[in-house]
Amino acid sequence: MQKTLDSVLKQKIRPKFHVFIDLKSTDHTTKIIAEYKKNNKDINVIFLLQNSKGIYQAWNQGLIYLLEKVENNHFVCILNSDDWLQNNYITNISRHKQHDLIAGSCIVHYKNKKFVRPCRNLKYLPIFMAIMDPSLIVRASVFREIGIYREKFLVAADHDFIYRAYEMGCKIKILDEVLVNVKMGGFASQNKEIAFLEQLELSKERSFLPIPELAFLYRSLKLPRLRLFDFL
């Protein structure tokens, strides 16, 4: 968590709000955030106890709080406690604020290796999540227009949200730059079978073609994600 906080403080442009959602953590989170708030008077630091279990429930709780406070043009970034921003994250994002959603590459960190994982062409959305979600930043007006994360999904609510935004014509900008560092091994990584089934479900909601079933088979066979159609 400390690496996450340090990465926020290294930004040349500071966030207006920093909202923390905590579910009975036992790693001195409360104390760390209290100290963080004390030392950073220029940031509105908000600490909320999570009122229902689940990653998307936590995201939505923070979003509901923020959407009562900010204007439509305010941008919202969701950063999990094991992830951290590149030093120029907010500066890079601010160059593209004419768009509704902005995302970029991530450095993914495994136990013994790390590498850069870029976003993919948005035409892949019927098959799998094309955006590196930890890098995503969203204009507040998008949440007000299309809604927040659908909590019926345990793993794929971020895919569902991006898919809805794409279908509704929101302006999405994909950057080549690395924006965020992501420590792998979280809930989604540990529940890939649930993710496959949920992605099949959300794709079938939107497609009358056999694309969802083919996508499910493609992922079940663990075939490589070729960049064949990225030029489209």
| Confidence class for position 231, pLDDT limits 50, 70, 90 | very low
pLDDT in tens, 56-100: 999 999 999 999 999 999 999 999 988 999 999 999 999 999 999
- The percent of residues above 70 in pLDDT, for the chain, comes to 85
Least confidently predicted of 26-40, 172-186, 208-222: 208-222
Instruction: Out of 10-14, 199-203, 213-217, pick the least confident.
Output: 213-217
Read off the pLDDT band of 192 (50, 70, 90): low
pLDDT of residue 209: 57
87 contacts 10 by C-beta, under 8 angstroms: yes
Question: What stretch of H or E contains 195?
Answer: helix 192-204
Task: Report which of residues 183 and 231 the model is more confident about.
Answer: 183
The C-alpha atoms of residue 199 and residue 22 are separated, in whole angstroms, by: 27
Q: What is the mean pLDDT of residues 1-19?
A: 92
Task: Decide if pLDDT at 222 tops 90.
Answer: no
Give the mean pLDDT of 105-123.
92
When pLDDT is cut at 50, 70 and 90, the band that residue 204 belongs to is confident
**What gap in Å lies between CA 57 and CA 17, rounded to an integer?**
19
Q: Is the pLDDT of residue 228 over 60?
A: no
pTM, whole model, 2 decimals?
0.84
Residue 205 clears pLDDT 90, i.e. is over it: no
Q: Which domains does the chain carry?
A: 2-220 (3.90.550.10)
Q: What angle do CA 53, 179, 67 make, to 5 degrees?
A: 45
Mean pLDDT estimate for the chain = 86
Supply the DSSP string of 205-220, one letter for each residue: TT-SSSHHHHHHHHHH
